[in-house]
Structures are given as structure tokens and as C-alpha cells.
Amino acid sequence: MDIRLDTGFLGNLKTRKLLRALGVEGPVCLIRLWCYVGERHPKGALNGISEDDLEEIAGWSGERGAFASYAVRMRWVDRGENGALSIHDWQEHQPYIFHSDKRSEAARDAAVARWEGKRKRVVNAKGKRGASGAHAGGNAPAPAPAPAPAPDPKPENKVCGLSSLRGNSDGAAAPGGVLEAPPGAAPIPMSEEVLRAQAELVRKRRELGLAKP
């Protein structure tokens, strides 16, 4: 804790009078008294302190009662109606010390607010981790099923028991778009695509001399 000392303190008329009345020790004792009050009585009230105590605190070594009586008479120190002593205009000259309790309270409130904010952030973070961890051991949700592909159109005609490479026994296409069926089997109608493939196969066999013209 510190006190404020005006740069014009030593040149002030009131200070010069104190210096003439009590010597160099007068201003020194006054500053020593202020330092004590700033440390122990930040509101400037000297409750329970007598004039003898005041001189002891100030370190006055001169005539007993001289410093205290002069300080009260020149209003360096005020005496209340109940006889209690206080430093004159302490709040005006030492506002930093006088309002130190409010600064301390504001600092405590700020510290509590920071702590509460930090605590809430930690709680929220834990809650988020817990929510995500609840699904960590389970299987991932199944994706939406893709639409089943539509079945290929069924061929109009199926050919069973036929040799698509060899064609009819004589290598020629059967009349009416019907391949030669195995013995005892009824002829099976062919689709146009199969007939075209069969005709192409016969043509190539003829070109190669493998089929009868």
C-alpha cells in the first residue's frame, strides 16, 4: 500500500508553519503518521487512538503533547464530537487508499466470474464428450438402403438345349426363325436378335467353306 504526497507539500504555507513550529521533525512525523494510517486505517479514522498513541505512532521525540495538539489545532488531524481522531480530508487527498476495499471487492467479483465461466466451460466440454462417447462403443448407423435395381426385362423367348455355335445340322438357318431342336424336342421360337446372330454365324461358316451353300 502507498500514499500520495503532493509535489507542493513542502512549499505549502501550512507545511512551512509546521516546520517553524516543530522543526524538521514536524513534517517527518506527519508523513510517518500518514503512512501508518494508510496501512492500518485506510478510511482515515483513528478509532481507539489517543493523542499519546498518535505521537508514538508518528515517532515524535519532542515535548509530550506538542505534536498532537499542534496537529489538531492546525487541522492536520480532526477531532470528532465524541473525541475520536481522524486525518483531515483523508478521502480527498488519499482516494486510492480510501476506496481500496471497493477495488478489492471488485477484484474478488471478477475472479469469481472468471472462475464460474471457466467451470461452466469445463462442464459443457465434459457434457459434449460424454454425449459423443455414448455412441462410441456402438455400431455406426446403417446407411439408407439404395433402391433395388429394376430387374432386366425378361427375354421374350428362351432357348434351351440348343447349340448356338453349330446351328442346324446342315449349317443353315432353320425356316421360320426356328433352330433345330434336339431329337424329340419341339422347336422353340427365337427372338430376332438371336436369329440375326444365327444368320451371321451361318454366313461366316459359308465364307470359310464350313457350311453347305
pLDDT at 177: 44
Report if residue 88 sits inside a domain: yes
Domain count, the chain: 2
What is the CA angle 210-212-213, rounded to 5? 120
* Residue 58 falls inside a structural domain: yes
Alpha-carbon span 168 to 65, nearest angstrom: 148
Q: pLDDT higher for 28 or 168? A: 28
pLDDT by residue (tens digit) across 153-178? 554 444 444 444 444 444 444 444 44
What CATH number should be reported for the domain holding residue 46?
Answer: 1.10.10
> If you average pLDDT over each of 8-22, 115-129, 184-198, which comes out highest?
8-22
* Domain membership flag for residue 87: yes
Indicate if the pLDDT at residue 37 is higher than 80.
yes
Is residue 24 domain-shared with residue 94, that is, in the same domain?
A: yes
104 domain-assigned: no
What percentage of the chain has pLDDT greater than the value 90? 44
Residue-number span of the structural domain to which 39 is assigned:
13-98
Strand order in 85-87's β-sheet? 45-46, 85-87, 77-79
Looking at 30, 63, 98, which one is the last position of a domain?
98
* pLDDT (0 to 100) of residue 1: 76
- pTM tops 0.85: no
Average pLDDT over residues 1-6: 88
- Answer whether residue 174 is part of any domain: yes
With cell 507542493, the residue in question is 8
Asked if 18 and 92 sit in the same domain, the reply is: yes
Residue that the C-alpha cell 498513541 belongs to: 53
Instruction: Kindly state whether residues 94 and 164 are assigned to the same domain.
Output: no
d(C-alpha 86, C-alpha 46), whole Å: 5
Rounded to whole angstroms, what are the CA distances from 111 to 1, 75, 90, 103, 120? 21, 41, 29, 12, 14
Domain boundary residue among 80, 98, 116? 98
Please indicate whether residue 19 or residue 1 has the higher confidence score (pLDDT). Answer: 19
Q: Is residue 2 part of a domain?
A: no
The answer to whether residues 93 and 162 belong to one domain is no
Q: Is residue 126 part of a domain?
A: no
Residues 89 and 22 in one domain: yes
Beta bridge partners of 85: 46, 79
Please check whether residue 6 lies inside any domain of the structure: no
- At 48-101, the pLDDT tens digits run 999 999 999 999 999 999 999 999 999 999 999 899 999 999 999 999 998 987
